[in-house]
Amino acid sequence: MKTAVVRIHRHGGPEVLQYEEAELRSPGPGEVLLAQTAIGLNFADTYQREGEAGPHDTAAMPIILGGQGAGVIETVGSGVSLFKPGDRVAYIHPGAYAERRVVPAGTLLHLPPQISDEVAAATLLRGLTAEYLVRRLYKIKPGDVALVHAAAGGMGLLLGQWANALGARVIGTVGADSKVDIAKAHGCRDVIVYSREDFAALTMELTNGVGADVIYDGVGKSAFLKSLDCIRPMGMVISYGTASGNVGAFDLQLLHRKSIIVTRPTLRTWIATRTDYEAAAAAFFDAVISGKVRAEVNRSYALRDIRRAHEELESRATVGPAVIIP
């Protein structure tokens, strides 16, 4: 059997993305064959395409991109007991840009009926990231001040809403005036347009000179060092993404004066066990079902249109999550 896939044979820009046919094997022990109904599109996909995904990305070419999706199980391999044909599921696992694929059953999550395939595929990775960022790595509590960079982006929309629902005062930064109202509609009380305003100075002004309790930085190089100027003493700066480039080396003495805590986490360690994976997903699905977090899909693309999808993703002109429909 063959299936349509998008893969790369070398690293580079959107032009290296190839829509092709590939052989599809039967599921082995502990695996399932999944007919995908939706595939997530994440900025991290562009890092893998460019060869900047980090030391963990050692797959041999050609590589099928993508890291999350949703669909219906068609067949199961031996030893699979938690899932059966016909189950609606979502997952986080490399190689998502495909119409059908074989995945380890341990990567799958049952989808509640209230969560659509499109929402699950577009937001699962971001949702589980937001979960550990606001509930476990830094436990947001009422009265906290949280600064969220790129507050109108896919992650920013979730972080702003969830932190607000947990009682934080959320300050967001955005790159354009057109995104101010979007950020405010998703949990931000105050919004700073960083392209024309000094976000560090304004954050200090908005907090009466104290600074934010926690800063969520998915931007990286262009935002990280300046974030150290507007965190409170003993506050935490969380560098969870590098949309503007890697932070790179910096002088640890910059943390000394205010005893600043800096961390560079990754989702895979926070959902490494099945127990943590299921608990994080349950918390995210509950937040969506209860209305604390609106998980929205703002754009959709055909799998054949993947080059345009990557071009628009990298343009920074897009707002919120997108999904690929096989």
CA-based end-to-end distance of the chain: 17
Q: Are residues 117 and 39 in the same domain?
A: yes
Instruction: Please give the Cα distance from 171 to 152 (Å, whole number).
Output: 12
Q: Looking at 238, 264, 290, which one is the last position of a domain?
A: 264
pLDDT at 55: 47
Residue 97: count other Cβ atoms within 10 Å of its Cβ. 28
Q: Are residues 146 and 255 in the same domain?
A: yes
224 part of a folded domain: yes
134 part of a folded domain: no
225 contacts: CB under 8 Å, gap ≥ 6: 247, 250, 254
pLDDT, tens only, 162-197: 999 999 999 999 999 999 999 999 999 999 999 999
Q: Looking at 264, 286, 306, which one is the last position of a domain?
A: 264
Rg (CA), the chain: 20
One-letter amino acid of 169: R
Residue 240 is part of which domain span?
A: 142-264
Instruction: Please give the Cα distance from 285 to 289 (Å, whole number).
Output: 6
Over 80: is that where the pLDDT of 265 sits? yes
Contact between 137 and 265 (Cβ < 8 Å): yes
Q: Are residues 25 and 101 in the same domain?
A: yes
Over 70: is that where the pLDDT of 53 sits? no
For residue 254, give the CATH number of its domain.
3.40.50.720
129 part of a folded domain: no
Residues in the chain: 326
137 part of a folded domain: no
314 part of a folded domain: yes
Describe the strand order of the beta sheet including 63-64 as a list of residue ranges.
18-23, 2-8, 63-64
Q: Are residues 177 and 277 in the same domain?
A: no
pLDDT at 319: 65
Q: What does DSSP say about strands 190-193 and 322-325: parallel, antiparallel, or unpaired?
A: unpaired
pLDDT at 321: 81
Instruction: Please give the Cα distance from 255 to 116 (Å, whole number).
Output: 43
> Buried b / exposed e across 164-189, counting CB within 10 Å, b at 16+?
bbbebbbbbbbbeeebbebbbebbbe
Over 50: is that where the pLDDT of 27 sits? yes
pLDDT at 101: 98
Over 80: is that where the pLDDT of 271 sits? yes
Q: Are residues 184 and 243 in the same domain?
A: yes
Instruction: Please give the Cα distance from 192 to 162 (Å, whole number).
Output: 19
Question: What would the mean pLDDT of 201-211 be, rounded to a whole number?
Answer: 98
Number of domains the chain is built from = 2
10 token code pair: 């070398």
Over 70: is that where the pLDDT of 35 sits? yes
Over 70: is that where the pLDDT of 231 sits? yes
pLDDT, tens only, 105-151: 999 999 999 999 999 999 999 999 999 999 999 999 999 999 999 99
133 part of a folded domain: no
Q: Are residues 318 and 256 in the same domain?
A: no
Q: Looking at 227, 249, 264, which one is the last position of a domain?
A: 264
Q: Are residues 208 and 313 in the same domain?
A: no
Q: What does DSSP say about strands 169-174 and 145-148: parallel, antiparallel, or unpaired?
A: parallel
pLDDT at 312: 92
Please tell me the pTM assigned to this model.
0.91
If you ran DSSP here, which 8-state letter would residue 19 be given? E
Nearest CA to 215 out of 179, 172, 166 is that of 172
Over 50: is that where the pLDDT of 56 sits? no
Q: Are residues 9 and 72 in the same domain?
A: yes
Q: Are residues 92 and 164 in the same domain?
A: no
pLDDT at 315: 85
Question: What would the mean pLDDT of 246-253 be, rounded to a whole number?
Answer: 92
Over 60: is that where the pLDDT of 243 sits? yes
Over 80: is that where the pLDDT of 318 sits? no
Q: Are residues 178 and 288 in the same domain?
A: no
pLDDT at 246: 87
Q: Are residues 287 and 320 in the same domain?
A: yes
Task: Label residue 320 by pLDDT band (50, 70, 90).
Answer: low
pLDDT, tens only, 57-82: 567 899 999 999 999 999 999 999 99
Q: Are residues 8 and 99 in the same domain?
A: yes
100 part of a folded domain: yes
55 part of a folded domain: yes
More confident residue, 319 or 57: 319
Over 80: is that where the pLDDT of 46 sits? yes
18 φ, ψ (degrees, to nearest 5): -120, 125
User: Dihedral through CA 74, CA 298, CA 281, CA 65, nearest 10?
Assistant: 60
For residue 63, give the CATH number of its domain.
3.90.180.10
